Amino acid sequence: IVFMLISSISFPLHFVAIRRRKLLHYFQDSELKAFLSIILVSCLLVFLSLFFSNEAHSYLAAAFHVVSFSTTTGLVVGDYYLLPAMSPFLLLLLGIVGGCAGSTTGGIKVIRLILLQKQGLREIKRLIHPQGKFMIQFQHQPVPTKIIEAIWGFLAVYVGLFALFLLLILLVEDDFVTAYTVVIACFSNIGPALG
């Protein structure tokens, strides 16, 4: 779990921390904080689903699966698909998100989701205050509009290709869950799928 998490952190962040010999840089990175928050909340949700289902699954194995899927490592321990109903789909969503930009993970990357969320909040502010000028910032730096447009373009291509390949897989596969999760696994480089 530890080494999967280390590999999912931005390598430039590792470089700066090692070069300056300060671990403080890890705690100042907004993307890393968001990524670790996603991991912790996901572990908590899987633990709660295990607790309330009274099924015999290891909490350590559940945490391993959360980290493995979110880092798109592709490792599994036992039958992860037998976890309570919400958990396998949560794991696949974690694989879609992926880890930090500049790491070995697949997926969309946490930074893109952070910037999309900031863009969404800015649009809500614009609806409330049409004459207002709102700038998107990340780590106290303004984010150029071209970057936000590139992220929206990437997401549009991602969703469009996802839909196309899902339809193509459904030509030969009758089970929607299998087709859907196989396309997710391939697009995000997760490895395991359901079905």
First and final C-alpha spacing in the chain:
25
pTM attached to this predicted model = 0.90
Identify any residues that bridge with 142 across adjacent strands, giving them in sequence order: 137
What confidence category does residue 127 fall into, taking pLDDT thresholds of 50, 70 and 90?
Answer: very high
What confidence category does residue 82 fall into, taking pLDDT thresholds of 50, 70 and 90?
Answer: confident
Number of Cβ within 10 Å of residue 1's Cβ equals 14
Q: Phi and psi of 141, rounded to 5°?
A: -120, 135
d(CA 105, CA 166): 22
Closest CA to 35 of 16, 61, 20, 13: 13
d(CA 193, CA 88): 9
Give mean pLDDT, residues 54-67. 86
d(CA 146, CA 150): 6
73-82, 166-175, 179-188: segment of lowest average pLDDT: 73-82
d(CA 77, CA 100): 24
Q: Position 115: which residue type?
A: L
Q: Give the model confidence (pLDDT) of 18-49 as tens digits.
A: 998 888 888 899 999 999 999 999 999 999 98
